[in-house]
Structure 1
């Protein structure tokens, strides 16, 4: 799709699930405005909302701009819009940037000007750098520290959130160490099974579905995996 023939309806159809009607309406209006804004070169939908067969609670958008200082969008709370300047993309991709890499691997293009995103994808198709598994493990360790703290205060909801964050980052690290690009969070358990890590897959799937996990299990896994 080019900047000259963008159809907001067709563009929003690239997103498989919308959390609210207003999220779809806002995104359609943003895509339409992007067509008339030479500062915006591409808008790409990322995250679980563009992945088939999984659940999603929000929608994530990525915008590529010439000048970030003139971007002043105010999306609804269920739309996460992140913008990156064209001048920073190459260095970010070389460093294994999580979101840009994910967008090139799995994202759905809602708008692009003069084949900008297609050209970027073609240039990086065979040299996309995986995100850092070391960073994922560091994030897991940080989430574990927060988990211990909230458990000490007896905050069950916060503990559930931190446990999910902890296991998600461990899952990402395990996949990255095996050269597998992590897909959306609901798909990580199956990706783990595909590489033979059934235990972590079961724990992640269980807590993603609202199950509780014992701190002793998390401590044991931390010793093994981080």
Structure 2
């Protein structure tokens, strides 16, 4: 008699991403996002950051929100202010818990370009009322990610990060402007979670975030990592 479990309906498919130079795909575990990690973006959001007295903060999204670069996604319901946020995504390749910053590189498998698409109007209402950000951030098809570039053990400390909408540059900065760098992010996040292979850490967005409309084409890149694109479709 079989001991394999049976289910009332099919379980969700494993979320995964393509890997540069490999036929194998990278299975996704969790999606972590660092909030307000570039000074200029924190200021434009009306919440300046003082690193001397603050530590990083995070939010999560369901892995089912992940979509690959090149997709077309529907303009989401419940918003009239759908924003782009270009980010460098760090891909965890080894388990780690309470990791020291000087050892953080050991957890890195590689990187990818990413977009954190956001219902900004709903996020700001929740933020100003002290409520969770889920309706603003945990949006279906809102965690966009490009091809993973394996760079095991390598810590990216600089490189241009930029985004355009319909060919017009909207965001342009450098990874060296991160408030908390990649070592600090891994070390801090691992104080709260047992990091696992397949965890993605979206490390923050620079200034210049803004709204998009149906029909818009978003294109971005992170130097040394790769490019990303997303088309905004009609509202459902």
Report the TM range for the smaller structure's normalisation. under 0.3
Larger Rg: 1
Higher relative contact order (CA 8 A, sep 6+): 2
Normalization by structure 1: what TM-score?
Answer: 0.25
- Higher normalized helix content (fraction of residues): 1
- Higher normalized strand content (fraction of residues): 2
Normalization by structure 2: what TM-score?
Answer: 0.24
